[in-house]
Amino acid sequence: MEPVLKVQALHKHFNVRAGLFRTKQFNAVSDVSFCLGKGETLAVIGETGSGKSTLGKILAGADNSSSGQILLNGQIIEDDGGRVENTKDIRLIFQDPMKSLNPSTPIGSILNEILILNTELDSQARREKINQTLLNVGLLAEHRNYYAHMFSGGQIQRVALARAIILDPKVLVLDEALSSLDPSVRAQTVNLLLRLQRETGLSYILITNHLSLVKHMSDSLLLLHKGEVVEYGETHEVFNSPQTKLAERMLAC
């Protein structure tokens, strides 16, 4: 089967100051390759500073890579740092939904703006689409007139999800989106994500530190350390027989 997302030899380096005039190269992500099929979930785990979030940003198009290719449905969308298309098909959900939504605009206009910028729909069709997306994530159509602060913790997470899926993406990148939630809200959100995956065949890239969630939700697992891939394979295989010392230590606790 053709994978939805294919990443080949992705590199990202930053220049950091090493002296008064010299700069040093810092490899945030080096030589990362993986495949993601339709309706599958890839979990990315690693310590802080291992390049997890940088990888997520590059995939969603918020940052450019230094070299390497990203292929979506067999077509190159990023080649050695140059993005070909805009990023309609890979969407990112941030860690803190409260901080990532504009507090001075109603939810409806936030969602509307995305549609104006990315689609050719007229205002009637946009309205339809927003209502349908809000219903899809378990909110009501009336919520379009609400501001971000009027939602509770669980609902605001749903709004963030609505913002991500309104363009019908193929891949969703969840950057620690589940870690800071309360247990009951997290269970609700996980159920919602799993339902969307079942119904629409959405693929997820789950960047997290929460190992039990990784075990429950993901099909394959990518372990990063200092920007390099340490382990990559099916989740249960990696959990049952980790190949490296580092993986053993990370997965044991």
Smaller CB distance to other proteins: residue 124 or 212?
Answer: 212
Smaller CB distance to other proteins: residue 105 or 180?
Answer: 180
Smaller CB distance to other proteins: residue 86 or 191?
Answer: 191
| DSSP state, residue 78 | E
Minimum separation from the CB atom of position 96 to other proteins (A): 11
Minimum separation from the CB atom of position 81 to other proteins (A): 28
Cα–Cα distance measured from residue 247 to residue 253, given in angstroms and rounded to the nearest whole number:
10
Q: Could you tell me which stretch among 44-52, 54-62, 78-86, 106-114 binds other proteins (CB under 8 A)?
A: 44-52
Distances (CA, A) of 233 to 43, 48, 53, 210: 10, 21, 20, 18
The 150-169 site mask, x for binding other proteins (CB under 8 A), equals: --xxxx--------------
Q: Does residue 213 belong to the site contacting other proteins (CB under 8 A)? A: yes
Q: From the list 2, 49, 73, 241, which residue makes contact with other proteins (rule: CB under 8 A)?
A: 49
Angle of helix 123-136 relative to helix 153-165, nearest 10 degrees, comes to: 130
Q: Could you tell me which stretch among 65-73, 86-94, 105-113, 207-215 binds other proteins (CB under 8 A)?
A: 207-215
**Strand spans (E) along the chain:** 5-17, 23-36, 41-46, 67-72, 75-79, 82-83, 90-93, 171-175, 203-207, 220-225, 228-234
